[in-house]
Amino acid sequence: MIQVQLFQDYYTNLLAYPTWQKMLKETQPKTLIAWGAKDVKFNADGAKAYLKDLPNAELHLLDAGHFAVEEKTRDIALLILNFLP
């Protein structure tokens, strides 16, 4: 239900991007990005864009589509385990 609401009002989400980008740039949280390289909805350029604000982020473009977590569950789990302190 929440996902449907977000989809129906995605424009509001877009308006918030500058606020999120500013926060990320200022705080530089330790960040792991696991992204489906074959995602046609949110392509790899979207993942790479995070690196503008988070140059030290760990980016992994996986051989997966939009549902990378379902397609590469074990790979992502290992990335998370290796990423955590």
Nearest C-alpha neighbor of 33 from the set 18, 14, 48, 13 = 48
Beta bridge partners of 60: 34
Q: Is 60 a catalytic residue?
A: no
Q: Which of 66, 71, 75, 79 is catalytic?
A: 66
Question: Residue 38 in contact with residue 64, Cβ under 8 Å?
Answer: yes
Annotated catalytic sites, by residue?
Answer: 66
